Structure 1
């Protein structure tokens, strides 16, 4: 799953990597500066509305009125397109979370060791997401969830699920209202970055406290670095 991530670069960094032009969306060179993004907070979410791209602050979590538990924060990519909870969001609420890395925890004795996972080339990440559109409206706890995929090979040592990270050239099609739900399934399968694109290292357990913020949370610790 993805329960914590980092979104600290500027909008410029994310948008330039996507090949967006200045007249397509509002650019901003100031760093976002969030090194420890937690569920239940509002997150900058890239989405398409009225055939234009928008970046909105959206609640990370999804809990409709009939849901009597904590809002969900992830949706399994294998079932999201067909399940009762997420099918409407898959069909009409696809979005992207621009990010720099995410955190996972691995049990180490009676404690859990956090790891920072990021692109080997330090490239921006684009998490597939689905949620309650339109995103310029406040829907309370009906916000968005991050779509996840199964991990394999080395990454399963850290966690068995991971965010579904789309290649940059697939982002626009994923967001487009003209993209059918069936085609979106193909994108989720074919355009997701494989484990070989990522690396990771252990970080301070301070990341477990949502009040801790700062670049120091990204620093490697101990001899468990990969």
Structure 2
């Protein structure tokens, strides 16, 4: 059985390592920030301690056999409900929070490692999490930069059929990242920003279909290259 000091030390280390990851998520104003990650790391460590050492009194019988990994294994699957709560489905094919959900799941594994006394593995994993979250993102943007397409549709005042426009976009296999509608005295404008770059021919075909809608006067296509930051 572990000493009280060792138990407290493991809990504190797990909370600190979870908090380090949480600080990075907090910096980006993520749904799950500092406190959430600290609690996940702390709770996982406690579950690991209970799983490994909490049933020692029940092992006095010669025929009693316990699997110390049974309780801890439930953290791996159980943390899913918390991760799912951080994922937001904004609109078709637009999803936010997957990275935060993954960080919560990995911090839970860090807590289990600390609870099991695997300090080196826990610290190394925390360092790798920070590298992936903070350093890989700019590299990813630089290597996989995309050309973002923007549509500006000008139509007669009150004649923009939004449902028709959305159906045509969905039929083209595209997803809208942002849609802005502006009303003028005699005309309305709608600005569309698409999630990822699409082939020029796909955008041209979509523009032709949208231009055929009654009331649409003009469609302007703009292409911008997203730069890594």
Normalization by structure 1: what TM-score?
Answer: 0.24
Counting helix residues as a fraction of each chain, which structure ranks higher? Answer: 2
Name the TM-score, length of structure 2 as normaliser: 0.24
Pair member with larger Rg = 2
More strand by proportion, 1 or 2? 1
* Structure of greater relative contact order (alpha carbons < 8 Å, 6+ residues apart): 1
